[in-house]
């Protein structure tokens, strides 16, 4: 994702305990574990653009394995145009105007990008089904052997397909618990194909650095309004193509 900051800089506390100020535009690669904490204070005004799993690679031909579990000053990676984009977005008066501007900018870029192939389809399928996908079948659908599929997946997405599927399952489980708080964690573990609840607890610890309940509490503290709106929708159903809260 690309995160634009227009007000006070965020304090980023890394795993080494060092506190740094975030740059005005941050490029965040695919995340597979908790690498840092954010200390929010002052006036916050952010605009975030999220991409499909291989979107950054196809749009800007970035070395995705080098972005995995890292965040960079986007100006150093993407060049001068991202600074101009940050300035333009900061001068726009509303969220809707910023969305229109970014949609137009990314659409123009996409016209020069290669079309999504078997790897794009496989990664997006994993997200849609919450990580519960047959990787051998996806490789076969892409016309690739298992080894070829893994190599191309790492190059385009940045992580191994099995790890990506695990992260997608973790995020889908967390998103569903956030959306339907009455469901028990045991039910969530069973629904998303974990061997048992402790298997799920292990993945939450590895990917988010905490127990499921603690991770959900952090999510609720950040996404207060989106979660409130989700839970207040009496007509909410559970289609697999519902827009994701996390990804």
Summarised one tens digit per residue, pLDDT across range 74-127 is: 999 999 999 999 999 999 989 999 999 999 999 999 999 888 899 999 999 999
Tokens of 24: 């005005």
CA distance 237 to 243: 12
Q: Tell me the pTM.
A: 0.88
What's the pLDDT score for residue 58? 93
Count the alpha carbons within 13 Å of 169 in the hemisphere toward its beta carbon: 24
State the pLDDT confidence band at 232, using cuts at 50, 70 and 90: confident
152-162 confidence digits (pLDDT tens): 999 999 999 99
Q: What is the pLDDT of residue 240?
A: 44
Lowest model confidence (mean pLDDT) among 2-6, 14-18, 77-81, 234-238: 234-238
Q: Give whole-number Cα distances, 140 to 32, 37, 144, in Å.
A: 25, 39, 6
Longest CA span, the chain: 52
Query: Helices 118-128 and 161-179 sit at what angle, rounded to 10 degrees?
Result: 30
User: Who wins on pLDDT, 242 or 22?
Assistant: 22
27 forms beta bridges with: 2, 72
Cβ(191)–Cβ(130) below 8 Å: no
> CB-based contacts of 45: which residues, under 8 Å, 6+ apart?
5, 6, 7
Q: 204-229, pLDDT tens digit by residue?
A: 999 998 999 999 998 888 788 888 88
Two structure tokens written together for 175: 């998103």
3-state secondary structure of 118: helix
| 244: CB partners within 8 A, 6+ apart | 127, 171, 172, 175
Domain locations in the chain as residue ranges:
2-110, 118-232
pLDDT given for residue 244 in this prediction: 53
Q: In what order do the strands lie in the sheet containing 36-39? A: 19-21, 11-14, 36-39
Average pLDDT, the chain: 89
CATH superfamily assigned to domain 118-232: Homeodomain-like (1.10.10.60)
Note the pLDDT of residue 200: 97
Confidence band (pLDDT; 50, 70, 90) for 141?
very high
């Amino acid at each position: 994702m690309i995160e634009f900051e227009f007000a006070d800089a965020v304090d980023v506390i890394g795993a080494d305990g060092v506190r740094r100020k975030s740059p005005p535009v941050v490029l965040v690669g695919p995340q597979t574990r908790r690498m840092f904490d954010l200390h929010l204070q002052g006036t916050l005004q952010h605009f975030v653009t999220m991409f499909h799993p291989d979107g950054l690679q196809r749009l800007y031909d970035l070395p995705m394995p080098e972005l995995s579990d890292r965040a960079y000053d986007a100006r150093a990676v993407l060049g001068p145009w991202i600074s101009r984009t940050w300035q333009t977005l900061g001068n726009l008066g509303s969220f809707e105007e910023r969305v229109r501007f970014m949609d137009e900018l990314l659409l123009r870029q996409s016209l020069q990008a290669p079309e999504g192939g078997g790897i794009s389809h496989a990664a997006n399928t994993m997200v849609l089904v919450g990580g519960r996908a047959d990787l051998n079948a996806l490789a076969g659908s892409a016309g690739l052997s298992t080894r070829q599929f893994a190599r191309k997946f790492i190059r385009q997405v940045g992580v191994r397909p099995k790890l990506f599927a695990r992260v997608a399952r973790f995020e889908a489980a967390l998103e569903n618990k956030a959306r339907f708080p009455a469901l028990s964690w045991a039910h969530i573990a069973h629904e998303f194909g974990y061997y048992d609840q402790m298997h799920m607890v292990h993945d939450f610890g590895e990917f988010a650095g905490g127990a499921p309940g603690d991770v959900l509490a952090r999510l609720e503290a950040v996404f207060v309004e989106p979660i409130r709106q989700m839970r207040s929708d009496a007509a909410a159903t559970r289609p697999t193509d519902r827009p994701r809260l996390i990804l």
